[in-house]
Amino acid sequence: MGSGVVYREITVKSALTRVQGMPFAWSLNPYMGCERGCVYCYARDYHARRGRDTGAGFDREIDVKINFPELLAHELRRIRKRETVALGTATDPYQQCEGRYRITRRTLEALVASPLPLVIVTKGSMVVRDIDLLVKLDVKVCFSVGTVSAELARASEPHASPPQARLEAVRRLVSAGIDAGVLAAPILPGLSDSEESLDAVAAAAAAHGATFFSTRPLKLDPGVKPHYFAFLAERFPDLLPAAEARFAERVNPERSYVDALEKRARRVRSRYHFKERPFRTPQPAAPSQLRLAI
């Protein structure tokens, strides 16, 4: 449990959230808010849309959905189509408090009883605790690793597992026969978008047995911008004017930047031999598509 973090135990009325226009049909978020405190976190904007604070209200006040697993078990029994579900689209399901509450673990138990193809997105090495359940699921585990620089990670993702610990978790999962790879996201302009930086992440992913490697550029929604700009102002002031200009009127970087980044990422990916596996359950979703959605 993180120090200075307030945990509120709440009950919710539904567990599965229907998702439109994404490579998965449902999302699951056992917590609301995320104590990782990543400065660029897109989920801060979801808090803004609910009229909640996007700073400490997002990363120091965590809602714990205590009835989530039981509710999910009930909802899963009523689902007929075996569509993909994504766990951790708006919060890290393996943030610190999961060690105590075990809501994610009990969510996986519900999915083992009523299986659906599953994608998990996390920055938490705690996921290895649940290997015994993951081996029973048709699952892809996406470790978000945007940089292998421990220093940059510590500054921008202050309460996440260090990149090396996430990579070790990839190795542990793959060794157990679980499909796991790296989603290098978000890539931060001027900090982690060089070919050298992307290559270092891809090389580390390959060295740890990752089955896939994909990237996603930074996206700054209105509720996220102040936090990201404050981070730049404090840690990388030279990069602030360009970032403010780039994102002044938009949430995504300009097309030419995105195209150049994708080109670089493709070049890097081609140097390694990632062997992405399809879901055992026939599904259109693939981790490379996830970057559009998460």
Q: x/- site string to ligand SF4, residues 139 to 178, per CB under 6 A?
A: ------------------x--x------------------
Instruction: Supply the minimum distance, in Å, between the C-beta of residue 245 and ligand SF4.
Output: 24
Q: Does 43 bind ligand SF4 (CB under 6 A)?
A: yes
Cβ 137 to ligand SF4 shortest distance, Å? 21
**Number of neighbours of residue 79 by Cβ within 10 angstroms:** 14
For residue 278, the minimal CB distance to ligand SF4 (Å) is 26
Q: Report H helices in the chain.
A: 44-49, 56-59, 68-76, 98-101, 103-113, 131-134, 150-156, 163-175, 195-207, 225-235, 240-246, 255-269, 287-290
Name the segment binding ligand SF4 (CB under 6 A); options: 32-40, 74-82, 164-172, 269-277.
32-40
Of 115, 134, 118, which is closest to residue 126 (Cα–Cα)?
134
Query: Cα-flanking dihedrals φ and ψ of residue 17, to 5°?
Result: -115, 125
- Which of the stretches 38-46, 77-85, 211-219, 238-246 binds ligand SF4 when contact is defined by CB under 6 A? 38-46
Q: Which residues pair with 26 in a beta bridge?
A: 18, 85
Considering beta carbons, is residue 32 or 111 the nearer one to ligand SF4?
Answer: 32
Would you say 36 or 291 has its CB closer to ligand SF4? 36
What is the identity of the amino acid at 64? V
CA distance 133 to 112: 7
Q: Which residue, 148, 48, 62, is CA-closest to 97?
A: 62
Separation between Cα atoms, residue 18 and residue 206, nearest integer Å: 34
CA distance 73 to 75: 6
Closest separation in Å from C-beta 81 to ligand SF4: 27
Closest to ligand SF4 by CB, 156 vs 211, is 156
- Closest approach, Cβ 265 to ligand SF4, in A, equals 19
| Closest distance of CB 237 from ligand SF4, Å | 23
C-alpha to C-alpha distance for 181 and 183, rounded to whole angstroms: 7
**Is 91 a binder of ligand SF4 (CB under 6 A)?**
yes
By C-beta, is 98 or 157 nearer to ligand SF4?
Answer: 157
Q: Nearer Cβ to ligand SF4, position 26 or 42?
A: 42
Mapping DSSP to helix (H, G, I), strand (E, B) and coil, where does residue 22 land? Answer: coil
Nearer to ligand SF4, 82 or 219 (CB): 219
Let me know if 69 is exposed, middle or buried by CB neighbors in 10 A (0-12, 13-18, 19+). buried
Minimum gap (Å) between residue 125 Cβ and ligand SF4: 12
34/243 with CB nearer ligand SF4: 34
We find the least distance from the C-beta atom of residue 161 to ligand SF4, in angstroms, to be 10
**183 versus 261: smaller Cβ distance to ligand SF4:** 183
Supply 17's token pair. Answer: 């959230």
Task: Kindly list the residues in this chain that would bind ligand SF4 in the complex (CB under 6 A).
Answer: 34, 36-38, 41, 43, 91-92, 123, 157, 160
